[in-house]
Amino acid sequence: MLTLRKIVNIDEEKCDGCGLCVPACAEGAIRIIDGKARLVSELYCDGLGACLGECPQGAISIEERKAEVFDEKAVLYHLSHKASEKPKRETHPQKETGQPDGRCPGAASQALSPSDPHLSASTGERRDTISSQLRNWPVQLRLAPVSAPYFQNTGLLVSADCTAFALTDFHRQFLLGHTLLVGCPKLDDIDLYRRKLTQIFLQNDIPAVDVLYMEVPCCFGLVQLVKFALSESKKKIPLTLTKISIKGNVCRQS
């Protein structure tokens, strides 16, 4: 069945077959075929555009047209079948990225292991400063995969990207024990973020959501999109909102 929706468009003339977009697509909708990135099936593409930022040639865009409806069950079957296949040599040329298969290291989804925030890594002594509490990579909402193990049974912190610069104690006060996603409600694609957050809520068991936003009026849009995504997912997940002043103070928490 065809429906009007957003879907990936790949300009084959611009594509040089580097393959950086392939690992960025959690649904496995893109493959390198005959030296070019191609959409395997419209059924597998959710139209959220996680692959957009990975193309150095600007060959990938999101367009709105009639396409087959995104099918999560078909994606799961496709991924399970793909996992059982024997590895094949990629047909794209090797790139000088430091990786043997030409993939960019920054595109890989990673679960990180934060150290004890109060102990020195070298001496084991108590200290006043805090080490990084980052649990996941990437943190940018546009790039984060919808299904990742670090989302499961872990509190989610959705933060406006300015908050960490205003807050001197961001890691200890808010990031500790959370998976982090950041974005700007004024400069980024809010509709894409809303749809992507909805899928993250649907596909993962998230016990609680914290939203950290700045006191400037435009930043409240982040609160609205998280609330809308929760409503669309129909999941009753506890939500905590925290407003931060431009001087780094907590204005309000609810």
Q: What is the pLDDT of residue 55?
A: 79
- Give the pLDDT means over successive 10-residue stretches in the chain (254 positions): 90 87 83 89 87 78 92 83 52 39 52 60 56 91 86 96 93 94 89 88 95 91 93 95 93 85
Closest CA to 199 of 154, 141, 240: 141
CA 147 to chain centre: 9
Q: What secondary structure letter does DSSP report for 106?
A: G
Query: What's the pTM value of the predicted model, to 2 decimals?
Result: 0.58
Q: What is the pLDDT of residue 174?
A: 95
Contact 133, 114 (CB under 8 A): yes
Q: What is the pLDDT of residue 50?
A: 74
Q: Which residue reads 């991924």 in tokens? A: 79
Closest CA to 29 of 20, 17, 18, 38: 38
Question: Coil, strand or helix: which one is 82?
Answer: helix
